[in-house]
Structure formats: C-alpha cells, structure tokens
Amino acid sequence: MTLTKLTADKGLTSCFRHGLSLNSLVFFLTGLIIFLNPFPHLTGLTNIISGLIFLLLVYMFYCKTINLKWETPFLIPFACYVIISVVSTVFALDKAESFGDIFSHLLRYIALFYIIINYFNTKIRFRYLLQIIIVSGLIFSIFSLFYFYIIQGHSLTTRFGTGFTDSAICSMGIILVFTFILSLVEIYQTQNRTVKYLLIIGLAFPLSASLLTQSKGTILSIIASMMVIALFKKGKRAIFFAILFCVVIFSCLYSPIQNRIKDSRTFNIRIGLYLYSIEIIKDYPIVGTGFSLDTFRNPNLIDKHKYKKRIPKKYRSEPKFWWPHNMFLSIGVRTGILGLTIYCLLLISFIRLAVRLIRHGKDSFIQINAVYVLSSFTMFCTIGLFTPVFYHLFDFTFFTIFAMLSILWSINKKNPEKKIKKDGKTMKQLSEKRYE
C-alpha cells in the first residue's frame, strides 16, 4: 500500500468523523432554535444561530459528509406556493418589501422545515422534538405567569399579557395551546412515571395561561383541537377530553372572559376588517397586492378611506385597519385568488395525509402522534381565523407542524410491516415499541 493511498484513506476517515461531529452540532443548534422560539427579544441570537447552521450545512456539502433528503409529501404544494408568491411579487405594489418578505417569511422557514425533517427523522429524535417544544413552552408559560401576576401584581381578572411589548396576547396563545397539546401526547407515550406526573401538573400552566389571555381565538382553538383528539381517540381518553371541553366552556361562561365574548364592539371591528380585506381582494383578484405584509397598512399604497367607504358604516369604527385578522383573507389580499387556492390545497393535503396516517399508520407510534399533530394543525388554523398569523413566531410554528407530519410520513414509509409465521399461520408484526 503506497503512502499516497494511506494519506488519502486517513484524510477520508478524518473528514467522515468531522462530518459526524458537525452533524451533531447542527442537530443541537436546530434544537436550540426550536427551544428559543417562544421567548421574546432573542431575534438577533436566533438569526446568528440560523446563519451558523447554514454555513455548517454548506461546509458539509463541500466535504460530502451530508446527504439531505428532499422527499416530502409537501414538496409540490410548497413549490407551487413559492411560485405564485414570486409571481405576485412581480406585480406587487411594493416589490422590494415583497421580495424581502418572501425570503424572511417563506423561503427561510421552508429551509427550516427541511432541516427539521432531516435531523429529527427517527422515532427517538421525533420524541426529542416534542420534548424540546414542551419544555420550552412550559418554561415560557410558568415564568410569564409568575412575572405578570406576581412581580407586576396584576389581578386575575386582567387579561394575561396586557402590556407585553414583544409577545402579543394573540401570539402567546399559539405557543400555550401547542405546548398543551404536545404535553398530552407525551403523557401518553412516556413510561417514566415521574415525567408523566410532572407533565400532568405542568398542564395546568399553559391551559390556565391560555384561558387568562381571554382571547376568543385561543379559547376556540383549545375546544377545536380537543374535539379532533376526541374524534380519533375513543374510550376513557375521549371521556377525559369531554370533561376538559366542559371545563373550558365553564371558564368562558363564569369568568371575565364572558365580558369579551359578549362585547359586540370587538365583533364589529373584526367584521369591518374582514369586509375591508374583501374589498381589496376585489381590486386585486388575480395575484393580489404582493407578498409584503406591510402593503396593507401603507397609506401610500392602499387608500384606506377608499375601501372604508365601501363597507357599512357600523363597521368603520376601527381607526387603524392593520393586517387582516384572518389567515385566508391575508393570503387573498397578498397573493390573490390563485395564491389562496394553492394555500388551501396545501392545507387540504396536510389534512388528508394526517387522516391517512391515523387510520393506516403501520404502528401505534405513527397513529397516535398523527392525531396530536392534526390537533396542533387544527389549533393553528382556528387561531388563524381571528388573528394575523404571518409573522415569525407563527411562521416558525406553522412549518414545525408541517415538518412533524412529514417526519411521521417518512418513518411510516421506511418501516414496512414485517410478516412472521406462528403455528403455521402468517401474521403481521407491527413495531409498537415505546421510545424514551
């Protein structure tokens, strides 16, 4: 064996080992970004970590020590949505802002989606993903409640989150309910009794924080997500979710939340925003005003007085008319009917895949987790009916939910049913091992 060949083999081995360590670093940094998502005032840090992950991936591509998988059931819907978003930007009222938002609110998170499905692509790592989100959400809810009601001294009748500068009340709901849903599935899956009991106790914090926000969208999202779980889970667990449903309804009827529910002014403001958005879609029906989130509220581009005159007088009370408080109307305004159609098809493809995995998943791990991922998706869409969801906290959560279902699809695809013979008969052996 020549010296040149020995040197080459040693260099190849060294590069391979280096690649393994870099892969571990990317896995850790991706988990860190997911963990930091709920916490405010950390945008600079998360941008630095994202840039570092990108540089590490480019370096590993150069060393050929990484083999990312691009196959996902959402590849075509994502591609179509990107294309229509670019087309809408070409005809946008504000092209520069629209191109910027495509990168920061779409392409960036599609890249994150692919990183997650490549680095959390096994049952054990999928559990790690759930646990990271749960621990992060529990810490956020516990410390936020402590800060707001103990340190700041607010009464329990005050809307939780009032005065928070970088965590809007409506945006906190998505983190709180997401944490609550994933805690439920982890309680079911873990075999560690201590962890199970701690999670059961911990459920009280995101649930109570969600109710204390007095946000109608957040409360409805709890009800809708629990209905999805009860629909696919039968027996004793269905009874538990029915009881939980009653608790939420009781809290709404016999607490300060009822005052907000009965307040007709908030309904008129939302209806006014919906009608206002529809009038803009009528003027830009094909590809919308452009992908930019800020075009809607830019008086130099959108004459709000022109559109306010078109809606009934009683719905003109909202003085500012910010973003459309509805995810579908927001897409319609920004990308037109074409973009809205593709976006709806993307959501439909998610629901179809989730239901298929729930009914025909090859083991209980796939089926059970698919139920709770679909519940999380329902939570997001329910909040999206009443809240502007196209900014970073929501974008991150949206693509994380899609990544979770894609991982389950991938695991289901590469773990075929095994057949064994017993007493002369062929039986299907499904892998139902619980992973800690």
Residues 280 and 303 reside in one and the same domain: yes
Q: pLDDT value at position 11?
A: 46
In a domain, 7, yes or no: no
Residues 39 and 115 reside in one and the same domain: no
In a domain, 436, yes or no: no
Average pLDDT across each block of 10 residues of the chain; the chain has 436 residues. List them in order.
Answer: 42 50 89 90 85 89 79 93 92 87 90 94 94 94 88 80 63 89 90 90 88 83 87 66 63 59 66 84 89 81 80 69 79 91 95 94 91 95 85 89 96 63 40 42
Q: pLDDT value at position 245?
A: 64
Residues 31 and 80 reside in one and the same domain: no
Q: Which residue has the tokens 């209905």?
A: 227
Residues 86 and 52 reside in one and the same domain: no
Distances, alpha carbon 44 to alpha carbons 37, 98, 143, in Å: 12, 22, 22
Q: pLDDT value at position 266?
A: 66
In a domain, 6, yes or no: no
Structural domains counted in the chain: 2
- Count the alpha carbons within 13 Å of 60 in the hemisphere toward its beta carbon: 21
Residues 149 and 207 reside in one and the same domain: yes
Residues 255 and 151 reside in one and the same domain: yes
Residues 264 and 197 reside in one and the same domain: yes
312: left (phi over 0), alpha (psi -120 to 50) or beta: beta
CB neighbourhood size of 317 (10 A) = 10
Per-residue burial over 278-314, b = 16 or more CB atoms within 10 Å of its CB, e = otherwise: bbbbeebeebbbbbbbebbeeeebbebeebbeebeee
Q: Which residue has the tokens 């796939």?
A: 366
**Is the dihedral angle over the CA atoms 197, 199, 203, 209 positive or is it negative?**
positive
Q: pLDDT value at position 264?
A: 55
Q: pLDDT value at position 159?
A: 78
Q: Where is 426: in which H helix or E strand?
A: strand 425-429
Q: pLDDT value at position 147?
A: 86
Q: pTM to 2 decimals? A: 0.86
Distances, alpha carbon 251 to alpha carbons 116, 247, 374, in Å: 37, 6, 25
Residues 40 and 101 reside in one and the same domain: no
Q: Which two tokens stand for residue 53?
A: 């992950």
CB neighbourhood size of 79 (10 A) = 12
Angle at which helix 216-232 crosses helix 236-253, to 10 degrees, equals 160
Q: pLDDT value at position 428?
A: 41
Residues 31 and 156 reside in one and the same domain: no
Residues 56 and 195 reside in one and the same domain: no
Instruction: Give the structural domain span for 42.
Output: 14-67
Residues 313 and 250 reside in one and the same domain: yes
**Is the dihedral angle over the CA atoms 165, 168, 171, 173 positive or is it negative?**
positive
> 332 — phi, psi (to 5°)?
-65, -40
In a domain, 277, yes or no: yes
Q: pLDDT value at position 250?
A: 59
Q: pLDDT value at position 246?
A: 63
In a domain, 432, yes or no: no
